[in-house]
Amino acid sequence: MKSKVKIVIYTHSEYSFIWKAFVEQMNKFVDLNIEIHLGYNDSADALKIEMAIPKHWHRHTYPEEFKWTDRVNKILKEVDSEYVLFLHEDWIPTGEVKSEILDYCADFMKEKKCGFFLSYSHISVTSTQQGIPTIYPEYTFYKQDSHVFQPAIWDKKVFEEFCTVLHKEKHQNEDRECLGFMRQKNAYSVQNHVTVATILTTNSLIFPHMHALSQGLWNFKRYPSLESLLQSYNVNTKDRGVHTWWELDTQ
């Protein structure tokens, strides 16, 4: 049975250097019952897309001149789903992404009328709340103040409203206006309350991952095993610097 949650990926051809690693890791870890949608710029090289993107992924394009929110909104409107798991191409999956877990979280969202559901851990939240137990050992639902982009499950209507009301570039998607808007949308997260102080993303319940890039720089300090993983897919890891001032704890 197909999952209630569909994965929606935003990318641009300027990041095609990481596509192979991302696609291969997605193929390795994502349950085949989860539908995958990829949106990319309409100026991307058609042959490169054909060679890099699996045939079973649903493809969408956006005009190059669109703002980031308008690009995302165009993709969203072409996806028939109540809930979407949204991410960019530099969030590299490192563990199983299971349809039954996504469906379980979507059911929780529906019960709580939740518009946004974060996938990874922040000790600032777990240290101040008791949370709501899940059926998965060590994992707990927590109320979030607002959103933190990617990877997260969205009520698609809320995400479309976000994009329509807030005309933002990518670097603005967590600014004060966006945070204020999302505080009205009943945000939650699921977090590992045991390892929250040391592991933030690689043990995410819904999308275990390593975030490969931050501000155009490699996150090798945060993820010591990331460089060798990328090199195994022939990604040039020497073409840019290493990010050293990540805003979250290094894991």
In a domain, 55, yes or no: yes
- Give φ, ψ of 140 to 5 degrees: -135, 145
Give the domain range for residue 98: 5-209
In a domain, 10, yes or no: yes
In a domain, 229, yes or no: no
d(CA 138, CA 69): 35
Q: How many domains does the chain have?
A: 1
Say which CATH number the domain at 182 has: 3.90.550.10
Check: pTM over 0.75? Answer yes or no: yes
In a domain, 251, yes or no: no
In a domain, 242, yes or no: no
Tokens at 27, concatenated: 């193929």
- Give the chain as a DSSP string: ---SEEEEEE--GGGGGGHHHHHHHHHHHB-TTS-EEEEEETTS-HHHHHHHS-TTSEEEEE-TTS-HHHHHHHHHHT---SEEEEEETTEEE-S-B-HHHHHHHHHHHHHHT-SEEE-S--HHHHTT---EE-SSTTEEEEE-SS---SSEEEEHHHHHHHHHH----GGGTTSHHHHHHHTTS-EEEEEETTTTTT-SSTT-SS--EEE-EETTEE-TTT-TTHHHHHHTTT--TTSS-B----SS---
**pLDDT string in tens for the chain (251-residue length):** 899 999 999 999 999 999 999 999 999 999 999 999 999 999 999 999 999 999 999 999 999 999 999 999 999 999 999 999 999 999 999 999 999 999 999 999 999 999 999 987 776 777 788 899 999 999 999 999 888 877 999 999 999 999 999 888 888 888 889 989 999 999 999 999 888 877 888 999 999 999 999 888 999 988 999 999 999 999 999 999 999 876 554 44
In a domain, 102, yes or no: yes
In a domain, 65, yes or no: yes
In a domain, 154, yes or no: yes
Instruction: Answer yes or no: are the C-beta atoms of 34 and 6 closer than 8 Å.
Output: yes
